[in-house]
Structure 1
Amino acid sequence: MSTRTPEHVSSASQPDDDAVNRAKQEIQALVQEVVALSKSEIEETDFFAALLEKSISALAAIGGVVWTLEEGQPFKLQYQVNLQQTGLAASQAAQMQHAKLLGSIAQRGEPLLIPPHSGAGEGPEDAGAANPTEYLLVVAPIKTDRGVDGLVEIFQRVGARPTTQRGYLRFLVQMCEIAGEYLKTRRLRHFVTKQSLWEQLENFTASVHTRLDSRQTAFTIANEGRRLIGCDRVTVVLRKGSSYVVEAISGQDTFDKRSNVVRMLRNLATVVVRSGEDLWYTGDTQNLAPQVEKAVNEYVDESHTKQIAVLPIREHDPHADDKTRDRKRENMLGAIIIEQLVDSRAPDGLMQRVDVVRRHSATALTNAQSHEGLFLLPLWRLIGQSRVLVTARNLPKTILASIAIVAAVLAMWLFPWDFNVTADGKLQPEVRANVFAAVDGRITDVLVTEGQAVKKGELLAKQRSSPLEDQRAQLEGEIAANEQDYRSKRAQEGSLDKARTPEADLYDLQSQISQIETKAIALQKQFEILREQESRLNITSPIDGNIVTPKVQELLRDRTVGPGTKIMEIADMTQDWELELKVPEAKMGHVRAQLRELHAQDPKAQLEVTFILATNPDIEDKLAGRVIYIAPTAEAEGEKGNLVTMTVAFNQEELAKLGPEGVATEQAIAALKEHLKVGADVKAKIRCGRKPIGYVWFHELWEFIQSRILFRM
């Protein structure tokens, strides 16, 4: 039997010791890497992936799983390596046994080694719990101050000595302790971040509700909102009447509202707010409406922003909830615009922060605009801030001034005054007519000039129509060909021997001649219609009068017109003249009320009108007339709004007031008519009875209060 000396033993065991030391160093390095990861701000999924992969590498295992556990929830697979090799997915029963095994270990809170096809223990909580796989399960819990937050499960090959298996378990326990510290640190960091967010939110809400001024509130939303959201820039756009204005930009006390960037941003906000839908742009515009897509592309090309969100702000109604709120009818206050200029990645919790800023901004702006809309707000502020009026020395003066003001107010509502509705109009001859083109064509000759006197039926202009010329040439050719056929058939009929020609041939020839004659009649009717259309190329005057269209030669020469196109206007300036007034629809209530009052006394009564000409603005030259016609409907006329047309007749002798001597002779009036300008501007007043002098002066203000304030209450 051979024996070994101590030297032999020492030399033989040296390589094994070196391998063990190297393995320990590698494992220690892996542990240090996991420790370093646990102290960083790595995401939870990435941390558990690194922990599991390094644990499997250190233990030379085939795979493993990290399970996380939330209170009241089943185990969640966080990360796995080679789980499919265990065969758990192939059997439902195996999965149930494995799930109960994990639950038993989590309930105990202790690490455990489970051999293949064996249970976790013999306690009542271990019923049905077992390892259904062919591998040794090394399981350790991840513990925090809340208890067990998860499990790390390693699938190890069988056959290792018990001491080695216990080493597996000690190593895994150490890794789970590191994971527990990572979770506690991450939770603590989350609490700190949440506390900071609550402080920012408290500062924002306290600041945004401090003032009742829309402009100051907009600056607060822009600057404090940017800090809370964590974006690069916040812009506030407010509604001013029917338009929208960029009111505040974060980080800028002043900015040029006429610059391209600000102008395009305002246009983008206007389009989005009118659509009523939120806009979130991250680079893709395929699903946007065409007008929104155009505005977005223009702004992004100019500003080079990475991300932009345009969020309409609606008026806050504290009495409406999400179910009863009608979003389409809510009053739009403006919009909040959020931009990422450098980084296209959205900050954590962006949507929640944006929602908070938007909700509080809507409330603050609603309150500010409601406060600013108070009637005579500057006066109430002045009265509230002024205490000198009620001091003992000034109290008598204050009382006397108050009595004077009350007396003046009473006088304004007790003393009557003439109430008139003003309107603009035009002076027009009663007999006038518009000349229209009857057919398509180009005007070649204009035979009249502005102011020229013409007779009814007199030629005014000539047209030329290429389609009619082509039609004439075609018809003339068809008529000539038809006549040639007719003569040919008649000659053929005359050359036949009727006694010898079969009756069928004679009948066929006569039928052809009859068809040619019928066609000739039809062509002649077409030619008559063509001549009638050609006659319309000569444009004639419908009445006796004068050409009142200015620069008619320059306007019409070589101009292509179609049927119904207005060519010129003719007026008989020797006949009576009248007024054509345009009364705003909002003032028609006073007019109709006065008309009803007059008809109650006399059904034939008419409204009285006084007017002056823009060419004779002297108040002494005012003329009087009466309303003879009121249009039943109003017509929209651009920025002027809806206007109702009225026709006013007046005694032609009134025109004598415009003459130098004021003599109402027929010769003087006829001379004045010749010098009147068709369409001259007129300022007219429609007499609507007598009203209190205060109402006469301030009725428009009172109507505004009725429609804009009292009606909404």
Structure 2
Amino acid sequence: MSVDPEDVQRAKREIQSIVQQIAELSRTDASIEQYYDEFLNKVVQALAAAGGAVWSLSPTGLQLTYQINLRNTGLVENPIGQEQHGRLLQRSLTSEEGLLVAPHSGSAMGTDDGDEHAAANPTDFLLVMVPVHNDQGPQGIVEVFQRPGARPATQRGYLRFLQQTCDLAGEFLRGRRLRHLAEKQSLWEQLESFTRSAHETLDVREAAYTIANEGRRLIGCDRVSVAIQRGSKCIVEAVSGQDTFDKRSNVVSLLNRVARAVTKTAEDVWYTGDTSDLAPQVERTLDAYVDESHTKSMAILPLFRPERDVQEGQPNEKKRRDVIGALIVEQMVDTTPSEGYTQRVDVVRTHSATALANALEHNSLFLMPVWKTLGKATSLFRGQTKWKTLGITALVLGVIAGAVFYKTDFNLEGDGSLRPTTLQGVYARADGEISKVLVEYNEEVSADQPLVVMSSLDLDKEMATLQGKLDEIIAEISQARGAGRSGSRQDSDNVELASKLNNLRIQKKSIEGQIDKVMEQINRLQINSPIAGRVITGKSQIEQLDNRPIGRGQMLLEVADLTGDWYLEVLMPETRMRHIADAAREAKNEDKKLEVTFYLATQPNELLHGHVDFIETTAEARGEEGNTVLMRVNFDEGELTRLREILHGADPKVGTEAIAKVHCGEKSIGYVYLHDAIDFFVKSSFKLW
């Protein structure tokens, strides 16, 4: 039977393509299981075999790694056949080129086919076996279950093909081993870096941040947190990837509770989604944290203070180990741990416990921050920096001495405003409505000059009523007088008429009295200036008075004599009154007045002088200034003349802002500039007591 050459070439191309695919697969970093899965399927496909198997060498012997149709060979139900097949695999492992074993025969290597325990092929298939080698020797066997009946040359072709593909599998194992060695070397370098960094500092916070950040790199997880035991609480001190974090956030607060619950039990917690086997207090806190943070898996591992070695002869009593904190390892996305994950976590945990224990013990020494500072300070007095340090120290001491012993004027500053001595408010003397304002802002007025005219509908109505009654009584009186002049009336009628006239005259007099009172009230609706001066009420305020209802006693305008004397009204913060009271007492004992220097806010270069005339005894809250005490500062005629010269001959304006400095004697220059801070510190210290 002839074979079509084109079919032969097509088969060769398919086999070469499969070999090329296996070669490409061998250059990947696939896992052993994934590699042998694809490898064996391609080999079986290329050889058109019934099945195959891959056996890997382990410390306990050959183990089945992957198989295709192994059950069809009948080995599963044949214990003796399994033993024979196992011996055949062992013999194939030591062969150089592999074996071809015919169905139901020995290995064709001089064995006795009659021995049921000898190496043999108990199956109905032709077994093609080739060992897989790397640079460390045989690592396993690839076995193909081929259908019998092929010619010897074809069978040798099967063996050569399998040898070629097993060489590629050996290259894969060799490359995998080299990558493993490189990863192992990198892991050792990372471990060395982590160990060095973790033990490099004795500061608790720095050690915690180093463990969190370097530990995350070594473990290969998403986040590592370090919690420190503080009394009965376990507080998160560091989170990987975050220099600072909000310790009051919900996530951190819940993580604190988780760490506290786990450290109380002193048992490791590995969470992968199921909390049913955890202690109730741990389960509650962990569920709350996972709901908030959406963590997929995490490990909360208590950190224990390293135990001292038990000396020979001492009893080794079991006791509770001292918990110093917790290491928290989290996976936010993938719950499948990588290879060596648990071992790396244990390494980080061990070194973290030692580093934190050393840092905590170091910082627990009495006055350790002071000793550290003194220790660092001594280095400044060695070598070339000694003279620089001495010079700077002398300079600082000189500045401090000058601040303490050099005296200068102690002046306390307060905000003030100019006020005329003669100033009167204009008040409404009755209830009513303003009809007209007769003056304008800054208009000069004389004493008793009308300023405001008011009206009252009630008074007008009452006046009209009384006037009507008066007119009626006058008419009745006129009528009675006319009747009395007629001569036809008797004496009794005259007496009655005289009595009526008398009553009418009494009623008239009463109504006239009421009219006078109402008229007096109407006259009070006209408001006159109490003094001669100028109207200082603002223009906008005056305009708002028109047709406005006013109550009795309400202030309408202000009139001030701007040509007379002036004084300065100062609002001094209550916190400074202690110094002013002391200075005022000393000035009184020396029969002097407390001196004040002030300047206008618009003319800071022109200083004026005065003295304190009056100090209120109570403080009041006044806007942004807080509690202030009102002080009155008077100044003489000469200073008033200078003030008008500063204002180019004009009178000052009421309320002109000024800055006043009250002279309180002399104090050290340091206290003069820092008295507010010193007083605040003293006040705060008393509160703490």
TM-score (norm 2): 0.52
2:583 aligned partner: none
Q: CA deviation at 1:329?
A: 1.7
Structure 1 residues 106, 194: CA separation in 2 closer, same or farther (over 3 Å shift)? same
2:20 aligned partner: 32
1:548 aligned partner: none
Residue deviations 1:12-42 (CA, integer Å, cap 9, x gap): 96x7122212222222222222222211121
- 1: distance between equivalents of 2:122 and 2:330? 55
Contact 1:219 1:248 (C-alpha < 8 Å) held by counterparts: yes
1:223 is aligned to 2:213: yes
Q: CA deviation at 1:388?
A: 8.8
1:364 is aligned to 2:355: yes
1:86 aligned partner: 73
1:113 is aligned to 2:104: no
- Percent identity, aligned pairs only? 53
Contact 2:95 2:131 (C-alpha < 8 Å) held by counterparts: no
> Which secondary structure does the structure 1 equivalent of 2:248 belong to?
coil
1:348 is aligned to 2:335: no
1:54 aligned partner: 42
Q: CA deviation at 1:383?
A: 5.2
**What code does the residue aligned with 1:372 have?**
N
2:330 aligned partner: 339
Q: Which of 72, 77, 83 pairs up with 1:96? A: 83
Q: Which of 173, 189, 194 pairs up with 1:199? A: 189
Q: CA deviation at 1:182?
A: 0.7
Contact 2:302 2:326 (C-alpha < 8 Å) held by counterparts: yes
Contact 2:225 2:329 (C-alpha < 8 Å) held by counterparts: yes
> Which secondary structure does the structure 2 equivalent of 1:69 belong to?
strand
Residue deviations 1:85-113 (CA, integer Å, cap 9, x gap): 22223333322222222212212222221
1:264 is aligned to 2:251: no
Q: CA deviation at 1:228?
A: 0.5
1:373 is aligned to 2:364: yes
1:69 aligned partner: 57
1:600 aligned partner: none
1:244 aligned partner: 234
> Which secondary structure does the structure 2 equivalent of 1:269 belong to?
helix
Larger Rg: 2
How is 1:461-472 mapped onto 2 (pairs within 5 angstroms)? none
1:43 is aligned to 2:31: yes
**What code does the residue aligned with 2:134 have?**
T
Residue deviations 1:22-76 (CA, integer Å, cap 9, x gap): 2222222222222222111211012112211221121121111111113x53211
Q: CA deviation at 1:193?
A: 0.8
How is 1:611-626 mapped onto 2 (pairs within 5 angstroms)? none
- 1: distance between equivalents of 2:168 and 2:369? 67
Q: CA deviation at 1:387?
A: 4.4
2:687 aligned partner: none
> Which secondary structure does the structure 2 equivalent of 1:218 belong to?
helix
How is 1:439-478 mapped onto 2 (pairs within 5 angstroms)? none
Q: Which of 18, 22, 39 pairs up with 2:6? A: 18
**What code does the residue aligned with 2:179 have?**
R
Contact 1:141 1:176 (C-alpha < 8 Å) held by counterparts: yes
Q: CA deviation at 1:266?
A: 0.6
**What code does the residue aligned with 1:106 have?**
L
Q: CA deviation at 1:291?
A: 1.8
- 2: distance between equivalents of 1:329 and 1:371? 23
> Which secondary structure does the structure 2 equivalent of 1:353 belong to?
helix
Q: CA deviation at 1:379?
A: 4.5
- 1: distance between equivalents of 2:267 and 2:255? 16
**What code does the residue aligned with 1:229 have?**
I
Contact 1:104 1:125 (C-alpha < 8 Å) held by counterparts: no
Structure 1 residues 100, 257: CA separation in 2 closer, same or farther (over 3 Å shift)? same
Residue deviations 1:669-698 (CA, integer Å, cap 9, x gap): xxxxxxxxxxxxxxxxxxxxxxxxxxxxxx
1:186 is aligned to 2:176: yes
Contact 1:238 1:335 (C-alpha < 8 Å) held by counterparts: yes
Structure 1 residues 324, 346: CA separation in 2 closer, same or farther (over 3 Å shift)? farther
**What code does the residue aligned with 1:42 have?**
A
Contact 1:109 1:148 (C-alpha < 8 Å) held by counterparts: no
> Which secondary structure does the structure 1 equivalent of 2:76 belong to?
helix
Q: CA deviation at 1:214?
A: 1.1
Structure 1 residues 336, 324: CA separation in 2 closer, same or farther (over 3 Å shift)? farther
Contact 1:66 1:150 (C-alpha < 8 Å) held by counterparts: yes
- 2: distance between equivalents of 1:257 and 1:50? 51
**What code does the residue aligned with 1:81 have?**
I
Contact 1:38 1:178 (C-alpha < 8 Å) held by counterparts: yes
Q: CA deviation at 1:292?
A: 1.4
Unpaired stretches in structure 1, ≥5 consecutive residues: 1-11, 395-713
Q: CA deviation at 1:270?
A: 0.7
- 1: distance between equivalents of 2:72 and 2:315? 57
1:711 aligned partner: none
Residue deviations 1:296-329 (CA, integer Å, cap 9, x gap): 12111211122122111111114159x9987862
- RMSD after superposition: 2.8
> Which secondary structure does the structure 1 equivalent of 2:120 belong to?
coil
1:488 aligned partner: none
Q: CA deviation at 1:121?
A: 4.0
TM-score (norm 1): 0.50
**What code does the residue aligned with 1:68 have?**
S
Contact 2:26 2:168 (C-alpha < 8 Å) held by counterparts: yes
- 1: distance between equivalents of 2:379 and 2:172? 69
Structure 1 residues 96, 46: CA separation in 2 closer, same or farther (over 3 Å shift)? same
**What code does the residue aligned with 2:357 have?**
T
> Which secondary structure does the structure 1 equivalent of 2:4 belong to?
helix
**What code does the residue aligned with 1:36 have?**
E
2:147 aligned partner: 157
- 1: distance between equivalents of 2:41 and 2:379? 82
Q: Which of 121, 132, 142 pairs up with 1:131? A: 121
Contact 1:314 1:334 (C-alpha < 8 Å) held by counterparts: yes
Q: CA deviation at 1:384?
A: 4.2
Contact 2:106 2:112 (C-alpha < 8 Å) held by counterparts: no
- 1: distance between equivalents of 2:246 and 2:79? 70
**What code does the residue aligned with 1:37 have?**
L
- 1: distance between equivalents of 2:379 and 2:363? 25
Unpaired stretches in structure 2, ≥5 consecutive residues: 387-689
Residue deviations 1:596-650 (CA, integer Å, cap 9, x gap): xxxxxxxxxxxxxxxxxxxxxxxxxxxxxxxxxxxxxxxxxxxxxxxxxxxxxxx
Contact 2:99 2:130 (C-alpha < 8 Å) held by counterparts: yes
> Which secondary structure does the structure 1 equivalent of 2:339 belong to?
coil
Residue deviations 1:521-541 (CA, integer Å, cap 9, x gap): xxxxxxxxxxxxxxxxxxxxx
- 1: distance between equivalents of 2:147 and 2:381? 98
Q: CA deviation at 1:254?
A: 0.9
Contact 1:231 1:347 (C-alpha < 8 Å) held by counterparts: no
> Which secondary structure does the structure 2 equivalent of 1:346 belong to?
coil
2:517 aligned partner: none
1:208 aligned partner: 198
Contact 1:268 1:299 (C-alpha < 8 Å) held by counterparts: yes
> Which secondary structure does the structure 1 equivalent of 2:196 belong to?
helix
Structure 1 residues 196, 390: CA separation in 2 closer, same or farther (over 3 Å shift)? closer
Structure 1 residues 135, 347: CA separation in 2 closer, same or farther (over 3 Å shift)? closer
Q: CA deviation at 1:196?
A: 0.8
Residue deviations 1:335-387 (CA, integer Å, cap 9, x gap): 11111123333232110010000000011111111111223334444554454
Q: CA deviation at 1:122?
A: 4.2
